[in-house]
């Protein structure tokens, strides 16, 4: 499988930030891995235009499970596809926490994404309290069972493991802890979707930066990263892309 470096800009970025995208494209015309940025919805069309005929893919940060309708402020997967997106993040911990998203809702969004022709990046991860209570694998297993669509295939599914306590904190799990969780995810996916699980890319996310990327990418079953703050700057994200390609 081709590894994936994905960047989540979250609620950051205006048109001025597109200069960083131009710099990234120029510096990495043919990366060894797949390269993806998920900007705010206001920038998807602009970024997709810049990325045309380049190695950069563009994605959304969320989608509504319905294709259209009276849902003010929401964006459907079909609309993301129409704007030039190829991927969409669903079930990010910030959506689960800030908006009360359930596993069932995340699965519905993933189904909508795949139906629209997008790759769904399904996020899972435990809180600090859940880890301290020894419930990490139980929590992630439940999220996988509830969030990953039955019959999912590797071509349209990515799973991102983001321990909630490591996002934006500068803290990361040990390499052994990352390896344990990723091996568990692979096994749980196999139980859920069979042989397709072998081809699903498993990303690690949570304070990934140029200084720790190479050692994280050397961990078995880590097929890339979902990067937050470090994806906002071409130099930082480019270094992570380069580390994944080695």
pLDDT tens-digit series, residues 113-122: 999 999 999 9
Q: Considering the entire predicted model, what is its pTM?
A: 0.97
Is the model's pLDDT at 130 over the cut of 80?
Answer: yes
Domain range 4-244, its CATH number among 3.50.50.60, 3.30.360.10, 3.30.70.60, 3.20.20.70: 3.20.20.70
Block residue for tokens 């890339």? 224
- What's the token pair of residue 14? 């205006």
Which is the catalytic residue, given 92, 94, 101, 182?
A: 92
The question of whether 92 is a catalytic residue gets the answer: yes
Measured CA to CA in angstroms, residue 200 lies from 104, 213, 217 at distances of 20, 20, 16
pLDDT confidence of residue 205: 95
- What percent of the chain clears pLDDT 90, i.e. is strictly above it? 95
- The closest of 195, 237, 236, 243 to 222, measured between CA atoms, is 243
Average pLDDT, the chain: 96
Please say if 71 is a catalytic residue: no
Q: How far is CA 243 from the centre of its chain?
A: 18
Query: Among 20, 101, 162, 182, which one carries the catalytic annotation?
Result: 162
């Amino acid at each position: 499988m081709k590894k994936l470096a994905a960047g989540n800009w979250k609620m950051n970025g205006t048109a001025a930030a597109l200069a960083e995208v131009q710099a990234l494209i120029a510096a990495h015309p043919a990366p060894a891995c797949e390269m993806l940025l998920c900007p705010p919805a206001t920038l998807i069309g602009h970024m997709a235009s810049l990325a045309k005929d380049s190695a950069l893919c563009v994605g959304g940060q969320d989608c509504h499970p319905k294709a259209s309708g009276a849902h003010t402020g929401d964006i459907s997967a079909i609309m993301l596809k129409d704007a030039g997106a190829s991927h969409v993040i669903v079930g990010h911990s910030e959506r689960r926490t800030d908006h009360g998203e359930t596993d069932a809702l995340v699965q519905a969004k993933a189904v909508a994404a795949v139906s629209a022709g997008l790759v769904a990046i399904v996020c899972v991860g435990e809180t600090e309290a859940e880890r301290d209570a020894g419930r990490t694998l139980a929590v992630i297993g439940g999220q996988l069972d509830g969030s990953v669509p039955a019959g999912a295939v590797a071509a349209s599914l990515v799973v991102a493991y983001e321990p909630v306590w490591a996002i934006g904190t500068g803290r990361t799990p040990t390499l052994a802890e990352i390896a344990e969780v990723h091996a568990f995810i692979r096994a749980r996916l196999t139980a859920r979707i069979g042989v397709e699980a072998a081809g699903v890319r498993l990303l690690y996310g949570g304070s990934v930066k140029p200084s720790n990327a190479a050692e994280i990418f050397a961990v078995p079953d880590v097929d890339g990263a979902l990067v937050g703050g470090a994806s906002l700057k071409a130099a930082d994200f480019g270094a992570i892309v380069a580390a994944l390609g080695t």
